[in-house]
Amino acid sequence: MVFVISMMSGTLITISSYSWMSMWMGLEINLLSIIPLLSSEKNSYSNESTLKYFITQTLASTILMFSIISTLNLSEFITNNFNYYTIMIMNSAILTKMGAAPFHFWFPEIMEGLNWMNCFIMLTWQKIAPFVILMMNSKMTLFISLIIISSSMISGILGINQISLRKILTYSSINHIAWMISSLMNSQSIWIFYFITYFIITVNIIYMLKTLNIYYLKQLYNSMNSNKMFKILFIMNFLSLGGLPPFLGFFPKWLTIMNLTQNNFYMISVILITFTLVTLFFYLRLTFSTLTLSFNETPILLKNKFNFSFLMFNFVSLVGMILSTILFNFY
């Protein structure tokens, strides 16, 4: 509990700080707090992942510190051109912390060794502080555009041949990072809405996978045919994560596309939509056995392990699109 509170306070220090140095300090508090949360005595894979995560984040923090010091000390002696390059280095360090492509090399490897609770922290909470720093610093349209394009392309292509659900969710997260950065370029409120939506859908999916203790596709197919409630909710949440229109996941993508086209970012919006369809393909593959193949029902009935709060979260996720549309029409 102490480490969870410390991790959250580190992120909040970063968000609410007025100087680059205090932002860096918040990131360090966050990093030092999450290391004990990730490591486990029962599982040697999680210890390996923790060490990899620590090394990667320390490297990114060092580069961030170097760029901060360079900007503060040398900007008065050297021309603005140098300042441009230091901001690019700073953004690269922040994108490495976030796990955006092409700085994503550590992300799938580390996720593969963690349990579902730690995966959830990595996919959601650990993204907040880097995004807020990027929000302060996202004036470089060309560099950020290249990051958006590479994140959407790499996540779409590399996610296709995965059988581990943790890696599938990781590449899905990289795809959503591309969307979130593109929403961040012009509107902070759309980014906040996108992140909350992504958070709700990820809570639903990870809670289901954790409850039934599923890590690979083979386990998923067996579980889906033994529990009807799980089957329906799981399919709907994955379609929502992919951004299909009747579900809540489509709404922030719709806002982002509108925002990009209004600001003449046509090429980026086309690339994002195209490679999101590729990610939607491997989401559909997860539910393929239920949607199209005829399986024999198992005689063993699983008890319904889902409590009221889980069903409430699913209700918000699945009915949210209708509510959002109604509210915005009145607005």
Query: What is the arithmetic mean of pLDDT over 158-162?
Result: 90
Q: What percent of the chain has pLDDT over 90?
A: 55
- Asked whether the predicted pLDDT for residue 213 surpasses 80, the reply is yes
* Residue type, position 300, single letter: I
- Asked whether the predicted pLDDT for residue 293 surpasses 80, the reply is no
Is this structure's pTM higher than 0.85? yes
The residues spanned by each domain of the chain are 2-330
Distance CA 207, CA 193 (A): 21
Tell me the pLDDT band of 298, cut-offs 50, 70 and 90: low
117 CB neighbour count, 10 Å cutoff = 11
CA 288 → CA 121, 201, 213, 230, 294, distances in Å? 28, 20, 20, 15, 10
The pLDDT score that the predictor gives to residue 247 is 85
Which SS3 state, helix, strand or coil, does residue 283 take? helix
For 135, phi then psi, to 5°, come to -60, -40
The pLDDT score that the predictor gives to residue 77 is 57
Q: Could you tell me which residues come within 8 angstroms of residue 3 by beta carbon, excluding any fewer than 6 positions away? A: 33, 34, 36, 37
One-character DSSP codes across 8-63? HHHHHHHHH-SSHHHHHHHHHHHHHHHHHHH--SS-HHHHHHHHHHHHHHHHHHHH
Q: What percent of the chain has pLDDT over 70?
A: 89
* Residue type, position 229, single letter: M
The pLDDT score that the predictor gives to residue 274 is 94
Tell me the pLDDT band of 193, cut-offs 50, 70 and 90: very high
Query: What is the arithmetic mean of pLDDT over 243-255?
Result: 88
Per the structure block, which two tokens stand in for 170? 């990781």
Of the candidates 328, 312, 201, the one whose C-alpha atom is nearest the C-alpha of residue 254 is 328
- Asked whether the predicted pLDDT for residue 82 surpasses 90, the reply is no
Distance CA 287, CA 295 (A): 13
pLDDT per residue over 85-97, tens digit each?
A: 888 899 999 999 9
Whether the Cβ atoms of residue 99 and residue 107 lie closer than 8 Å to each other: yes
Of the candidates 162, 143, 61, 56, the one whose C-alpha atom is nearest the C-alpha of residue 104 is 56
Of the candidates 141, 172, 120, the one whose C-alpha atom is nearest the C-alpha of residue 284 is 172
Tell me the pLDDT band of 7, cut-offs 50, 70 and 90: very high
